[in-house]
Amino acid sequence: MEFIKFVNVEKTYKNGVNAVYNMNLSIKKGEFVFVIGASGSGKSTLIKMLYREEKPTKGEIMVGGINVAKVKNSKVYKLRRKIGIVFQDYKLLPKLTVYENVAFALEIYGLPTDEVKKKVLKALDLVGLKSKVKSYPDQLSGGEQQRVAIARAIVNSPKLLICDEPTGNLDPDTSLEVMKVIEKINDLGTTIVMATHDREMVDKMKKRVVLLEKGKLVKDYEKGSYSNYESN
């Protein structure tokens, strides 16, 4: 069942840069898809259009039956409640504890305290950090901070988790640890779309790999790797 669909999508910025050109892409519910390509290939633009940080100049982007491009600016927050987003820099609030960082968005939504607690502890348990609820970000390793960021992204049980270079600041062992957490989330049914430069990780994971070049989708491998792309 299609969960994400790009139909003839193009994105041209005001400075004339054509970041995405004639993009057609379908992603099934529950799939794990790596989006790879050199810097400037359009990866970040594709990712940003999924959660409406950017709007396409042309075409349709459907996410769970919603035409993301047509969501009014005043309603974007409702769309993002259904999407988890993880960035390269963890974007944790330094003066809040691990628990408070993960609970923050739920409290803004006005959820009852007991429901917030239940959801936060469940998310932290899933990423293996239930014992760190009272710690502050500066007391954690880089990998632990990224796992807190993942817990925050999944605390509202999103159907889609978007990851933009989530292992970019981490060493290989820590990257693997983080990827195992993301794979576990995928195993529970969440669709994962991840932009990455981490060739070792892509090769190890053997997931679907979509290659972009100069804004165009040029390769799409079911169980791909960076080596697929280098040899073609």
pLDDT at 47: 94
Q: Quick one: pLDDT at residue 81? A: 83
30: left (phi over 0), alpha (psi -120 to 50) or beta: left
> Which parts of the chain sit beneath pLDDT 50?
231-232
Domain limits, the chain: 1-82+159-232, 92-157
Instruction: Please report the pLDDT score of residue 45 as a whole number.
Output: 95
1-82+159-232 maps to which CATH number?
3.40.50.300
* CA–CA gap between residue 177 and residue 79 (Å, rounded): 29
pLDDT tens sequence across 166-214:
998 889 889 999 999 999 999 999 999 999 988 888 998 999 999 999 9
What per-residue confidence (pLDDT) applies to 224?
78
Looking at residue 230, its pLDDT comes to 57
Give me the pLDDT at residue 229, please: 61
